[in-house]
Chains A and B, each alone.
Chain A
């Protein structure tokens, strides 16, 4: 069995979080992960308060109100203020944040009794947020899908661990027991996985999206969006190749570029549109090859991690 302080902090069996993926991480997926012994997280994405409240209720219903779960607040969302309020009003047990600095909401969330865990992609952000009363730091390397920073998980995790006394949860590039064991060796006390859970039976993302993840190889993803200052990792599809070309084309304005990508994530996740969709995925997609229930995934990952961590001793002479 693998137990870390993160398990006690959140009240979960395995120190694993399911990342808040826009258009994908709904109440159903979050509940499946929480029922499987991890921490399921609902993505508040760019949606409004009503949407989030609905998904929170769904997760509560599906877990019988007995399991903790989280909500991810995307700080760049136009509805950030109202969904931040909903998370507090609904007394969501864990609140994670992405795409920015959550400082202005932290006091309200702590008052609501939530454990707050911001996602960081640099050492300075980890330092800054560690003293705001948050419970843990999620450090995400650029191997992950969606919005990404430059640093890799391998480089980021030990440096973040060096500047904070809080538990660190490693994210980006982890999909199996080997990744979990490696993250622990770097100093993390928990992991957050996104791409692997795309293949969960309880994940309601469009069939085409799932199939693309299952078929992906090690070189299937790329990052685009650097020109607009928001690099994003996704599968290399004809649309993404065309977009990447457009980024280098100075005759195309930033506004045109922005318009080209608008709404493409919804098209991928909801419509399964292989032509115009953006299929966000981590580099690890090449290792996600089978559909399973979320509970089976978690069990398999930690059984494997346990064997590896015990075996690590063999090299110490």
Chain B
């Protein structure tokens, strides 16, 4: 599941605990900016071996995970 993978990557990126990240956690709460987000998506791409087109802004981790899932579908 993309969300779980995303949470792991975020946790590693910010040095936090993946278990504390929910679908409703906002990037703002995590102190993560748009550049961090792009970097994490690129990391996810590498791990899943896909190319994702990133458009628009995402407020929560769940939103981004859902967007990526829709792109993979």
Contacts and interface: CB of A to CB of B under 8 A. Distances in A.
Interface in A110-151: 121-125, 127-128, 131-132, 149
B51 interface: yes
B25 to A, nearest CB: 17
A130 B35 CA distance: 16
A124 B55 contact: no
Contact of B54 (A103, A122, A123, A149): A103
Contact of A125 (B35, B51, B55, B56): B35
Interface residues of A, number: 15
A229 B33 contact: yes
A148 to B, nearest CB: 12
A310 interface: no
Given A122-B38, A124-B38, A128-B42, A104 B55 contact: yes
A101 B39 contact: no
Given A101-B54, A103-B53, A121 B35 contact: yes
Nearest to A127: B42
For chain B, which range describes its interface: under 10, 10 to 19, 20 to 34, or 35 or more residues? 10 to 19
Contact of B51 (A100, A121, A124, A131): A131
B71 to A, nearest CB: 12
A123 B39 CA distance: 8
A122 B35 contact: yes
A226 to B, nearest CB: 11
Contacts of A104: 55-56
Contacts of B33: 229
B38 A125 contact: yes
Contacts of A124: 35, 38-39, 41-42
B17 to A, nearest CB: 23
Contacts of A149: 35
Contacts of B42: 124, 127-128
A28 to B, nearest CB: 33
A103 B55 contact: yes
16 contacts: A101-B34, A103-B53, A103-B54, A103-B55, A104-B55, A121-B35, A123-B39, A124-B35, A124-B41, A124-B42, A125-B35, A125-B38, A128-B38, A128-B41, A128-B42, A229-B33
Given A121-B35, A125-B35, A131-B51, 20 more contacts: A100-B34, A101-B34, A101-B38, A101-B55, A103-B53, A103-B54, A103-B55, A104-B55, A104-B56, A122-B35, A122-B38, A123-B39, A124-B39, A124-B41, A124-B42, A128-B42, A128-B54, A132-B53, A149-B35, A229-B33
Interface of A: 100-101, 103-104, 121-125, 127-128, 131-132, 149, 229
